[in-house]
Amino acid sequence: MPLMRYVILQHGQELNFVEMPSEYAYQLSALNLRLNKEIEKLTADQVPELPRAIAECDSLELLQESYQMTNGLHYINELESSFSAIQEENYPLISLLTEIRALQAQLEQWYEEEGAL
């Protein structure tokens, strides 16, 4: 079984738990921090609200049914979808999308190689 790592994201009082292959968890955290920094520069009307990465851990057991674990590829696919829908004219959004899509491609390859898709 592949080694997984967990990225904990916070949006207001809500927590999200994203399960990532261990070698890509740091990339998701770094991407999240960069997107949160850059999202303030976007001028489009429909800019998504992002949670903030607050922690990473090697093991995680959710004790309340109200919390759900999100698959890393599923999370990055939703992130890519929300950013590709932004109609931005004043900021080079393509650089952010390129970073998202690079991690997306790496995760797709990882899941394919692991047979986990």
pLDDT, tens digit (0-9, with 9 covering 90-100), for 60-97: 999 999 999 999 999 999 999 999 999 887 778 888 99
Domain containing residue 59: 4-114
pTM of the model: 0.91
E strand or H helix that includes residue 49 = none
CA dihedral defined by 51, 54, 58, 62, rounded to 10 degrees?
-60
Q: Give the CA diameter of the chain.
A: 45
Q: Which residues pair with 62 in a beta bridge?
A: none
13-41 mean pLDDT? 95
Q: Using an 8 Å Cβ cutoff, are 28 and 78 in contact?
A: no
Query: How many domains is the chain built from?
Result: 1
Work out the pLDDT band at 2, boundaries 50, 70, 90: low
